[in-house]
Structure 1
Amino acid sequence: FLTRIPAFMYLTDDREKTVKDIIQQVEPGLFQKVTGLTLPDFQQLVDAQVFDDAKMNDAVWKFRTFEEPSLHYDTHYEAPEIQGGWTLRRDTHLARLIDLGILQPGDTLTNPDHTASATITEDYGIGIDGLRYTSPDDAAQALTGDKNTDGWTYWQIAQDSDTLADLLDGINT
């Protein structure tokens, strides 16, 4: 059935959600048709810890990159900013900065107006006080309590004054 999971992923439209959420909440019927597994069977495999979440997240994100060109045929397509993995979601722009080595897991993010700091996590997220956030916006908004906070301009790399927006602009020019 593992070889059928990519086919299931390709047939679903919810690329911003995790594959586990799609299987369990959004498309359980489609999952059963494609893989032959019922939802209770899948849950037994999850409970038995058959899946290595870190490896499955990596595999799903790699598959998403591979499938991306086949999802559109015009030049006006914009990929979703948030991409679901197996159990985690990630911001594609933040992931790109990490994959290019511009940001490293363990790097500290700060803001001159707040004493709190954040850390780039091993799983393409941002950690604050033990909580993982999917995107710079989510992390900044959690700290400020303001849903309009732009995390890309809010966060700076601790060792210099570049914001995440500056870093992103640097690779997009």
Structure 2
Amino acid sequence: DPYGLSKYEAEQALLELSKNIGLEVVIIRPVLIYGPHVKANFKSMVKLASKKLPLPIGCLDNKRSMVSVYNLADLIHTCMTHPNANREVFLASDQDDISVKKLFEKLAKCQNNKLLMIPVPKSLISFLASLVGKRAVASRLCSELVVDTTKNTQLLGWTAPYSVDASLEKMFNTPHKN
């Protein structure tokens, strides 16, 4: 889309500038970021997982890559200090891809809730969402988005220090601001 293309063009311009004037540039492309005080889609999922409502997500076995603020901060620190990071592009994830269904289970468990998940086919979710003008939401929820972070390990020796479980535990145990 135009937004993604503009980001890519900006990255290419920065890398070219880096070559021309010797500026150190590292580009990090994070997937969905989560952590304390999270906003937007992830916050909505946290709220839904706290409810005692049946959710039509029993068939959502599609894998998603995410990155906690803890792992992202660690990758940023590594990129700032590692000599092999200059002029490279890194994808940031927890390196622990998870299905939407499993994510909801974990979010519910962190909130001492047990979800009732109804096995509704993805095609029906998409159809119903399109009827209420939420086709894009259903598409994000039902699609697979997995990134390969092999380059981070091979070039920087970096692996995510926190699993999804450990990151969620830290997230839910961080005091909330009023």
- Tell me which interval the TM-score lies in, with the shorter structure as reference length: under 0.3
Question: Looking at both structures, which has the greater relative contact order when contacts are Cα pairs under 8 Å and sequence separation is at least 6?
Answer: 2
TM-score scaled by length of structure 2:
0.23
TM-score scaled by length of structure 1:
0.24
